[in-house]
Amino acid sequence: MRKYKVAVVGATGAVGLEMIRMLETREFPVETITFLASEGSRGKKLTYNGKEVSVELLTKDSGKDVDVALFSAGSAVSKEIAPSFANKGCFVIDNSGAWRMDENVPLVVPEVNPNDLSKDKKIIANPNCSTIQMVVALKPLHDFAKIKRVIVSTYQSVSGTGQRGINELAEQIRAWAKDETLPQPNKFQYQIAFNLIPQIDIFTGNGYTKEEMKMTNETKKIMGDNSIEVSATCVRVPVFRSHSESVWIETEKPLAPQKAKELLYQAEGIQLLDEPESKKYPMPLFAENMKTTYVGRIRSDISTKNNALTFWVVSDNLLKGAALNAVQIAETLVKKDIL
């Protein structure tokens, strides 16, 4: 089997570290691996397959002699650096929002739209974490019954904001446990411990946040169907890891709950966990560090006579919502003989 020269950009961040772990655990065929980051992380030692690797400074020339680079260093860095990697023949799989809605850049979830990948499109966008887990669940249902409309409410963990968000929740919980004054919020708009914040990213002119509009626009692009209407409400919750979503769909064809369960049971990347009588349903506690998307609580919407279902989706946002999906894209490039 051919092996590849791989780079991880933003290697010391929360997602970058998970990218490294996914490359290891999934045994991606690596010939050489390079860890790249900003000046502040240069020289830091990271481990790959039991060997120490020093983090190098990211520059526009870092893409030389690299076959595939996994980027998780933010939109500004991706906009500046990714094209120089691509111009050197490197495939860039970018986890930021920089390229997602660019019409010349595929936005890929391998279980949904692997055929959007091609040899001539060197920059590939990794979708937003909350969008990924939803479309994995929507795809088999859409193929069978054609989804017309989606209403989704998300319950997004603090790890979606990186290590600073995780630390802020932990510090507030520790202070509460010691009966001390809670530290002032820094990463979040308000105290996140024991609270919910119905705002992720900034508000746009239509009253929706940018995070909510990402779910609307990205879903249409990934599913390849602009007729699907999506309305999202995105909420930050005091959970360390894994995002949860309450999803309502309306379909053109009738779709009974039992048929939906059958379709999801057979779907790639899905684990059906829907035994309410035994209190078995997806929760972030179960999804943490797991590589699958869990779906449960599947039921008909009793408030309408239209073809409508409601269900619950949970996935690890740092894995399927970010690092795992990126590595799966790289795997798909290999499988399709594109890389």
> Angle 289-4-125 (CA atoms, 0-180°, nearest 5)?
55
Residues 6+ apart with CB under 8 A from 239: 155, 157, 158, 284
Is 129 in the active site?
Answer: yes
Number of H helices, E strands in the chain: 8, 14
* From 90, 142, 234, 243, the catalytic residue: 243
224 to 92, 121, 239: CA distances (angstroms): 22, 17, 32
Q: Which two tokens stand for residue 214?
A: 């990402």
Phi, psi (degrees; rounded to nearest 5) at 132: -55, -55
Calculated CA dihedral for residues 212, 188, 125, 27, nearest 10 degrees: -130
DSSP output for 145-182: H-EEEEEEEEEE-GGGG-HHHHHHHHHHHHHHHTTPPP
H helices of the chain, in order, are 14-25, 75-87, 129-145, 163-177, 210-223, 257-266, 284-287, 324-335
* From 90, 129, 142, 234, the catalytic residue: 129
Quote the crossing angle between the two packed helices 129-145 and 257-266, to the nearest 10°: 120
Distance CA(244)–CA(284), nearest Å, equals: 7
Instruction: Give the sign of the dihedral formed by CA 13, CA 19, CA 25, CA 27.
Output: negative
> Angle 144-147-151 (CA atoms, 0-180°, nearest 5)?
140
Phi, psi (degrees; rounded to nearest 5) at 24: -65, -60
134 to 19, 142, 312: CA distances (angstroms): 21, 12, 10
Q: List active site positions.
A: 129, 243
